[in-house]
Structures are given as structure tokens and as C-alpha cells.
A and B are shown apart, each in its own frame.
Chain A
Amino acid sequence: MPREIAILDALVPNLLPVFLASVVVHVVLDRVMAWCGVYRHVWHPPLFRLSCFVCMFSACGLLVLR
């Protein structure tokens, strides 16, 4: 896997698109979780949400940087 990617001829680290994609997925996931009422069953919703995001982003990042 390459470590960087050319966007409009500007080289950016691979993690940046991964981060943006994670943000988008997270926004959707967040909506779904709010709709299902997951946040009512956790102790610290913001921490939970942040942790979910970090998990997702890190997993994708590790996959990309294999």
C-alpha cells in the first residue's frame, strides 16, 4: 500500500482521505445510533462516540498502512 496519494497533484498522506471517510461514516453511524437509542445505554455518550470514531479510524488506518 502506498503511504501517500496524489489529490489534484498534491501529495497527501493516505491517512487524510481515510480520516475524512471515517468522519463521513461516523456521521451516518452516529445518526443510526442516536435513532436506535444506543446513547441511552452508555455511561458517557460523548466519550463513547469519540471512542467509536477512534476505533473505526484506527482500524481503517492500520488496514491502509499494512
Chain B
Amino acid sequence: MNFLDGLRREIVAWSKAEGPRWIFAFKTTVAVLLALAVSMRLELGQPVTAMVTVYIVMHPQTGMVLTKSLYRVCGTLAGTLASLALLGLFAQERVLFLVGLALWVGLCAAGAAVYRNFKSYGFTLAGYTAAMIGLPLVMQPTGFFNYAVNRATEVVVGIICAGVVSEVVFPRSLGDGIIKTMEERYARFMGFVTGLLSKSMTPREIDRMHLHVASNVVALESLRSSLFMEASDIRSRDLRLRRLNMDFMEMSTTFHSLCQILSRLTDPDAPAAPALASLGALLAEALAPECEPASGAECARLTARRLAEFRVDLPERESAILRECLDHAGHEARLDIETALDLVRRFVHEIHHYMRTYASLMEKAGPEKLNEVSFASRTDLLVALVTGVRTATAILLVSAFWIASAWPYGASAVMMAAIGTALFAPAPDPTLAIKTALVGTLIGFGAALACKFFILTSLNGIGFLVMGMAPFLLVGSYLALNPKLAMVGLGYSTMFCFMVSPANRMLYDPIISINFGTALILGVAAAALIFATFAPVTGGWMKRRTARMLRGQVEMACSCTLPHLGSRYESGTRDLLQRVAAKPNLQDVHDREIVGWTFVALEIGRAVIHLRQDAASVLLPQRVSAGAINTPRQIARFFGRPNQHNHNAALVTVEETIDAILSASAGEGVGEETVDAMRRMLTSLHLIRSSLLDEESILAATTSRPRGIIPGETSYAT
């Protein structure tokens, strides 16, 4: 009995961990084989196109499959038209055609780097579809129409099979996934806040959490963007999801600033430290979950109510703390405390708002009017251009080799190089991705030979064909869900399908198969080589560009027009960060520098935006408004060219403005509203100042050396 219980527990544990993976592998295999059978029944020329399409669009969550499919159709159409144009212009002119093709694929790769998510995917597809359709036809352009119609039909068959199977067989809804992620994030963030306020976390944990929280926003946004195709009523709450994400973003930035200022105030000699600590503890208590499950809507509403009570008491507590400290605190400390209190007030306001949105998300209420909110993405056009040039170079190199060597299988190699470069260019680390995919293609080569010449030759009929291929396909699909081996799985599956190439009239010729497979592998290898050598994405140059972009963000915050600037600024910065945070480990010096820059940029940029907003909201005295215009200008100059001189200039301007505000608010004849705005401006200025002065931040490391970012040890994240 005991043994049986143990066994059952083992099985349950296994099915929890491995079950979804095997279900996914099973679904993929079913979809692939269905696509194969349907293409054969419809007498399409290359069922392998439909099979590979299924692999490319398959995803555990249905909404992703449908969105990917939509973009795949668009990409395929665009690619077909492009190949038609290229063939029309350069029919039977191999050299010119290949140059044109390289330009087109390069252009698409650049486009894929500019856009995010599925738009980027559509560009990728438009690129390599042109290669797939155009290359076999360079010398026989008259076959274009039939060939293109056949390939497009196969793609559609593949998409329909993938969509239907993933919708109907053990569906996993993206909507549910998003709700779950939202709940997890809520619970995690609450734990983080309470843990940090009650000081039970190590600095390393805190840094990790900050990074996680910051990049989480963009990840969730990209998930949300592919929700619109799914059969789920969560779509009616789409606007609320967006709002929630935006709220979360603002709140987490405020929280980060608060953490920074609190950590500066923990100096035990500072008189306000114990008072602030007790305030934090109170807040932590108000936020601590008291009901189960902590992430439920009911519980969120309860917590929000307690928080509202806390908010009511807050002004009283604040003035108590101020009174207590004012007696024996200097000018500096007082500013610190006022800033901290201001941030606490803002944070409590924002978290309260977030909780209410969160609680209403869980309700199954009808649609609700909310202001339109938008996410911005930031891309370095130069980096996109380099990506495009890199892709074009890869294709040109392989093409040159093809033409110079008169290699009969050159077209296949060029095609695979185009697919490889286009498909892996948008990955966070393309070099690693394509290298692992190369391993996958090698395994796929062997498996395809074994399957085609030892198994399929002794089988007969579609039923046996399906059975003979299923085990091989299952392996590839299973690997695709393993984060480390996903690329191996993709390479393996693609290679396997291309090489076995099941058609209604099979061609069993080992020599042709081996030659073809070798050409495909060489194509991928060439792509990998180019990725690793030509301005590699993980190299220092790219990272310096990213850091430059982040500083550009601050410049944008200092100079762009105000409406919607806040959300545009924050989402853009996070978008940049997410590309870095997508890497498995952040051990690299450059990566840590970028993380450091992001947090500095987030903090200073937001403070600048608040400063500008407050300055624009009321009529200010002459000196103050001059300072409010000057400060962003100096900060922008410093971030454009970070050196000691600009640093000092910025600091001086900030301090002058602070003095101006202090003297102005002491003066007579200033309205209540203006005083209030100036107090908020003071907070922002003080935040900027303490960031500029912070000895642990990346700024200190940068300005202590004469030029730009220099590779080397920095003191961030100790």
C-alpha cells in the first residue's frame, strides 16, 4: 500500500512536471502529421512546407499560435510578391537576382529588428519566403505561378492544421496564462514590498527582484498583444489589462526610487531613520496579506481597504516624523526626509490604484471605459541596420561560393542560410541560438537518413508513414519546450522534415539526400559563422549602443513634448532593458552596466518628467521657472556626453534650482497651488541630485573616468 501510494505520488509529480510538455509534443506531432496527410490528399507538391510551417507556428498557448499564423500568412504573401518582383526583374540572371534577394532579406531582417513580437516575425517570414520561392525558380521563371500557389496553399494548410489542433486538443488558453502571470506577479511583488520594507532581504535578492520586476512589464505586454485571436472573454478586459500593466510599471519605478532613498537614509546616525523604518513597517503590515489565496480578488480588495485606512492616517504620521526630526536635522537631512515622505505618499497612492485595478480585473464584469494607454518600443536604428547588413552579407557569401564553385546544391545552401539568418536574427542571443540549432540539424541529418532509408522503405500506405515518422517528430517537439534545447529541437525538426521530404512519389536516393542535407547544414553553419564574427550582438559594441540608447531615453525625457511622455518613456526604457534581461545570465560586466544605466535612467528620467510636468502646471516665479527649464537641458547634456565637467554643471544647476525654490517658497505672495507644485518639484530635484551624487551608481563609475563607458569592473550591484 505504501509502495503504491509512493508510486502514485511519483506519477502525479511526473505528470505535473512533464505532462504539459508531452501534451505539447503530442499536439505538435499530431498537427504535423495532419498537415502532411492533408497536403498529400490535396495533391500538393511539397507537403514538407506545410509540416515545417506547423513547427514554426506551434506554441503551447493557443493565442500565440493564432497570432503567429496571421503574421505568417501576411509574411508569406509579402515574400511571394517580393520573389515575383525579383524574378520579374532578374529572370535567369542569377547574380543580380541573388544580390536583390540578399538586399530584400537584409531589409526584412532590419525590419524585424526594429519591430517587436509578431510584427518582427512577419518581417522575418517575408524575408525567407522570398528566398524559398525565388531560389528554385531563378532559372525557370515560367513555373512561378504554380509554384507560388502551391507553396502558399501548403503554408495555409499547415497553419489551419496547427490552429485547429492547438485550439481543440487539450487547449491551453493564453488568457488563462496571462491571468495566472498577473496573479503571480501580484503575489510576488507584494511579497517583495513587504519583505523589503521589513528588511528581510539580501541586497542581491533585491537587485534580482528589481530587474525581474522591470523586465516583467514588457514580457507581459508582448503576451497581451497576441491575445486578440483567442476564444476567451478576457479580450473584453483587454484595456484593463493594459491599464494594470501601466499602473504596475509606474508603481514599480516609484518603489525603486523609494528603495534607493531609503537605503541612503539607513545611516544609523540620521535621526529620521528609525521613524522612517517604523513607517515602512506599518506600510508593510498594511500590505501583508491576511487571507487565502493572497492573489485573489477578494483579498486584493481587503488589502486595498486597509491601505486606504493607512492613507487616511498618513499625513498625521508624516507630520509627526517631520516634527520629530526638524529639531536636530540639518538642511540636507530635512530634504532627504521630505523626499522620502513624498515618495512614500506617491507610492501608496499608486499601489492603491494598482490594487483596485487588479481587484476589478478578476471580476467578470462587462467592459469599462478607460483612457487609451499605449506602450512604446525603442530600437536603435543603427543596430537594426547592422542586423540587415549582416544578414545580407551571409547570403551574399554563400551565393558567391555557390556561383564560384558551380555547386549543384548551392541554391539549397543559400536558402538555408537565408532562413537561418532571418529566423535567428531577432533572438536575444542569435549566435548561441544558431549554434544550438546547428547541433539540432546535425542530429536531424542522422535521424532523417535512418528514418528515410531504413524505416520508410519497408512501409506502405499513409497510416504506416505516419507511424514511422511519429517517434522522430515527437522527439523534436518535446525538445522544443525545453528552454535550453528549444533551438536544438527546432533545428532537428526542420532538418528532419526537409530531408525526409515525404512526398506522394518518394525519391529514395541516398546520394541526393546526403548532398541536399549537407548543403542545408552548410547553409546554417555559414549563418552561424557570420553571426559570430560580424558585429556580434553579444559583443561590447552592441552593448555600448544599448547604453547609449538608454542615455538617449533620458535626453528624450528632457526634451520631448509632455503629453503621454511618462508612459512612453518608461515603456521604452523597459523595452530596451528587456532585450538585455532576456539573457540567461547577467554575469557580464557590460550587462551589469546596462542594468545600472537602466535604473539610473528610469529614476532620473522620471524625476525630470515629473519636474517638467509640475513646472508646466502652474505659473512659477521667474528664477524658479528659469531653473526648471535649465535643469532638463543640463541633464540632457550630461547624459549626451557623460563626463566630469557636464556632471558638475548639471549638479550645479540642480542645486541652484533647489535654492531658488527654497527662497521662493519662503518669500511672500506665492499661491497655495504654486507652493504645492514647488514642493513636488523639490522632491524631483532632490531625487535627481541624490542620483547624481550616488557613489554606488553607474554615474559615479562613469564620470570618474574621462570618456564614455569603459569596459571594466563597476561598482553596481555589490
Contact = CB atoms under 8 A, between A and B. Distances in A.
Interface string A28-50: 00110011010110001111111
Interface stretch (B83-91, B227-235, B376-384): B227-235
Interface string A19-32: 00000000000110
Interface string B42-77: 000000000000000000001000000000000000
A37 B168 contact: no
A35 B366 CA distance: 8
Contacts of A39: 231-233
Contacts, number: 38
A7 to B, nearest CB: 12
A49 B233 contact: no
A49 B364 contact: no
Interface string B151-181: 0000000000000100110010100000000
A46 B235 contact: no
A46 B232 CA distance: 8
Given A40-B364, A46-B62, A46-B171, A34 B232 contact: yes
B164 A35 contact: no
Nearest to A38: B233
A44 to B, nearest CB: 8
B233 A37 contact: yes
A37 B237 CA distance: 11
Contact of A50 (B164, B173, B364, B366): B164
Contact of A47 (B167, B233, B236): B167
B19 interface: no
Contacts of B233: 34, 37, 39-40
A50 B232 contact: no
B367 interface: yes
A19 to B, nearest CB: 10
Contacts of A31: 235
A49 B367 contact: no
A45 B63 CA distance: 13
A47 B232 CA distance: 12
Nearest to B366: A37
A34 B167 contact: no
Contacts of B173: 45-46
A45 B364 CA distance: 16
A48 B232 CA distance: 11
Given A34-B236, A37-B233, A39-B233, A46 B364 contact: no
B236 A46 contact: no
Nearest to A12: B149
Given A34-B236, A35-B236, A46 B367 contact: no
A47 B367 contact: no
Contacts of B364: 37, 40
Chain A CB count within 10 A is highest, among B62, B145, B231, B233, for B231
A39 B234 CA distance: 10
Nearest to B234: A34
A58 B164 CA distance: 16
Contacts of B168: 44, 46-47, 50
B664 to A, nearest CB: 54
Interface string B560-587: 0000000000000000000000000000
A48 B367 contact: no
B367 A45 contact: no
B231 A49 contact: yes
A31 to B, nearest CB: 8
A47 B366 CA distance: 24
A47 B171 CA distance: 9
A39 to B, nearest CB: 5
B155 to A, nearest CB: 15
B167 A50 contact: yes
A30 B168 CA distance: 16
Contacts of A34: 231-233, 235-236
A42 B437 CA distance: 42
Nearest to A37: B233
A61 B173 CA distance: 30
B157 to A, nearest CB: 13
Chain B CB count within 10 A is highest, among A34, A46, A47, A50, for A46
Given A34-B236, A50-B168, 13 more contacts: A30-B231, A31-B235, A35-B367, A37-B233, A39-B233, A45-B173, A45-B232, A46-B167, A46-B231, A47-B167, A47-B168, A49-B231, A50-B167
22 contacts: A10-B145, A30-B231, A34-B232, A34-B233, A34-B235, A34-B236, A35-B236, A35-B367, A37-B236, A37-B366, A39-B231, A39-B232, A40-B233, A44-B168, A45-B173, A45-B231, A46-B167, A46-B171, A46-B231, A47-B168, A49-B167, A50-B168
Interface of A: 10, 30-31, 34-35, 37, 39-40, 44-50
